[in-house]
Homo-oligomer: A and B are copies of this chain.
Amino acid sequence: MALIDIVRSDPEETQSGATRVLTFFRDRLLSGELKAGDRLLAERELAQALGVSRPVLREALRSLAMLGLLDIQHGRGAFVRAANASVLGQALTLCLAPEPNILDDVLQARIAIECQAIRLACERASERDLQAIAGILDTLVDSLDDPETGGEADYAFHLAIVRASGSSALMKIYEAISPLLMRSHVERRRDTFREPAITSRLVDAHREVFLSLARREPDQAERALRQHFLIGDELRRKSLISSYQSREKQP
């Protein structure tokens, strides 16, 4: 029985033991009867209550734990875990693993999410949202020399924009692709030189994005964002080329 069968299962079909357990939890999780933090009954009681043996119940519980829905602690019990996007990210990673050039491709998804997010943010962002983004922008400017902090601030900036969109769907998807985004970032950094000219243009691009957002101009904000991504691509390409050229000269 796969996850797909849990979410939509045919109530008519004869339900085996394992199926009964999984539908039991599916109903209570989707209906909200089981909230995050709730403690489940002990395995032995639960097994008896559901009319299945303990191994069967355990298989179901372990499966749910694997999906990140339960937190099973030895000697304490099983607890309902808040829905976590990291599971999504891992599943997406496994799902996209066989695809070629996935690290380049995931950037397209990033652009998609952010461009829509910033449009929404222009309408919905609160003053607090804008102040948060402004604060991150300051951090970004201050950490020009530190690749580590600078990289984090860069990510935080874009994440804050998505958060300001007020769309939990966009937010979850963005979190889901973020592990791949990170890998992509790390891989690209190997080929990218951190020159002052580049970083200063980077700051300018971020500032322009923020200003358009603060002025609540959706079209302008999206254009600035796309320009930012475009420049990033171009810089990476140039630095990649120069990297290869210097490698040719001095092998």
Chain A positions near chain B (C-beta within 8 angstroms): 1-4, 6-7, 18, 29-30, 32, 55, 58-60, 62-63, 65-69, 83-88, 90-99, 102, 105-106, 108-109, 111-113, 115-117, 120, 165, 167-170, 172-173, 176-177, 179-180
Given the known inter-chain contacts A32-B98, A112-B117, please indicate yes or no for A67 contacting B167, CB distance below 8 A.
no
Given contacts A105-B167, A112-B117, 11 further A-B contacts (CB under 8 A): A1-B62, A1-B65, A1-B66, A3-B66, A18-B62, A55-B58, A62-B62, A63-B66, A87-B91, A92-B172, A96-B169
Given contacts A108-B165, A115-B116, contact A97 B29 (CB under 8 A): yes
Q: How far is the CB of A169 from the nearest CB of chain B, in Å?
A: 4
Q: How many copies does the complex hold?
A: 2
A–B pairs, 16, beta carbons within 8 Å:
A1-B62, A1-B65, A3-B67, A30-B94, A59-B59, A63-B63, A83-B95, A83-B98, A105-B167, A105-B169, A105-B170, A106-B169, A109-B170, A112-B112, A112-B116, A169-B177
Given the known A-B contacts A108-B120, A112-B113, are A69 and B94 also in contact in the complex, defined by CB atoms under 8 Å?
Answer: yes
Complex: A7 Cα to B133 Cα, angstroms: 31
- From B67, B85, B117, B180, contact of A67 by CB (8 A): B67
Q: How far is the CB of A226 from chain B (nearest CB, A)?
A: 9
> Considering only CB atoms, which chain B residue lies closest to A180 in the complex?
B169
Are B102 and A168 in touch, CB under 8 angstroms? yes
Q: A28 to chain B: closest CB distance in Å?
A: 11
**In the complex, which of the residues A4, A66, A85 has the most CB atoms of chain B within 10 Å of its own CB atom?**
A66
B91 A3 Cβ-Cβ under 8 A? yes
In whole angstroms, what is the CA distance A84 to B113 when docked? Answer: 22
